[in-house]
Amino acid sequence: MPGSLHRPTSPRCTVAPGAGATRRRARKGEGEKLRTEILDVAERLLIENGSIDNVSMRAIAERVGVTPPSLYIHFADKEALFFECCARRFAELQEAIVSVLAAGSVLDRLWSVGEAYIDFGLRRGRQYEAMWAFRLPDDMDETELPLLPGYELLAIVSLLVAEGIANGEIRKDIDPQQSAIAMWGSVHGTTLILINGDVHPTPFPIDPAAVTEETLQMIRRGIRA
């Protein structure tokens, strides 16, 4: 659910010794470095506390080692800070997916997209969970929807499905947009289960490679013409 993680988790990221100490005035050219550090710290605190509501701008500033007003030089408010914090992980996910969209059949490309998605989630772990905590800006209208984290990913999958329908690889009774959402739900759910397998044990051992394979096979069998 946007705005919160499904459960508080212990952090896998460590904080450098001395974090929270007063920082000297940034030199020219260090603004972008500080901005990145603010985002990194905000993400770690989100993972530690489980919800954006449980993280204050003051706590972020103290961990970074700056005064709270300094944060507002870079971000309009807390929502804007966390929106960018989460959006940058979606951008990384999109890069991972675009990198596997090589030539091949539509079904093979969809398989590669699913593999890349799950692999990204497993590599990022708690960061993957945290990136879903963003909130939509109150003043966002429909013309800005393409700016939303994950919007382009769904568009990529939807276009692939439409291509597959056109060339006969995918069933013609499938709606490209709705099937893209359904496929996202499948790989997203699988990713969360694999990330949390050690926290929520199943009656039998989980084999990540086998579960990934079965998830992608079910998607392929469900849409193949």
Q: How confident is the model at residue 14 (pLDDT cuts 50, 70, 90)?
A: very low
Rounded to 10 degrees, what is the CA torsion of 215, 190, 115, 149? 130
Assign 130 to helix, strand or coil.
helix
Tokens of 110: 């969809």
- The reported pLDDT for the residue numbered 7 is 38
What pLDDT, in 10s, does the model give residues 96-129?
999 999 889 999 999 999 999 999 999 999 999 9
Region 208-222: mean pLDDT is: 97
Rounded to 10 degrees, what is the CA torsion of 104, 207, 201, 45? -50
Tell the burial category of 188 from Cβ atoms under 10 Å away from its Cβ (0-12, 13-18, 19+).
middle
The average confidence (pLDDT) of the chain is 85
Count the Cβ atoms, other than its own, within 10 Å of residue 220.
15
Count the Cβ atoms, other than its own, within 10 Å of residue 219.
19
Question: How far is it, in rounded angstroms, from Cα 214 to Cα 125?
Answer: 21
What pLDDT, in 10s, does the model give residues 47-58?
999 999 999 999
- The reported pLDDT for the residue numbered 210 is 96
List the chain domain ranges: 86-223
Question: How far is it, in rounded angstroms, from Cα 78 to Cα 7?
Answer: 21
Assign 17 to helix, strand or coil.
coil
Q: Specify the pTM.
A: 0.81
- The reported pLDDT for the residue numbered 11 is 36
- The reported pLDDT for the residue numbered 145 is 66
Question: How far is it, in rounded angstroms, from Cα 217 to Cα 117?
Answer: 15
Count the Cβ atoms, other than its own, within 10 Å of residue 176.
18
Count the Cβ atoms, other than its own, within 10 Å of residue 11.
14
Residue 116 in contact with residue 97, Cβ under 8 Å? Answer: yes
The one-letter amino acid at 133: A
Architecture of the domain defined by 86-223:
Orthogonal Bundle (1.10)
What pLDDT, in 10s, does the model give residues 37-48?
999 999 999 999
With 50 as the cut, is the pLDDT of residue 4 above it? no
What pLDDT, in 10s, does the model give residues 152-210?
899 999 999 999 999 999 999 999 999 999 999 999 999 999 999 877 778 888 999 99
- The reported pLDDT for the residue numbered 142 is 67
Question: How far is it, in rounded angstroms, from Cα 224 to Cα 188?
Answer: 21
What pLDDT, in 10s, does the model give residues 127-138?
999 999 887 766
Residue 86 in contact with residue 187, Cβ under 8 Å? Answer: no
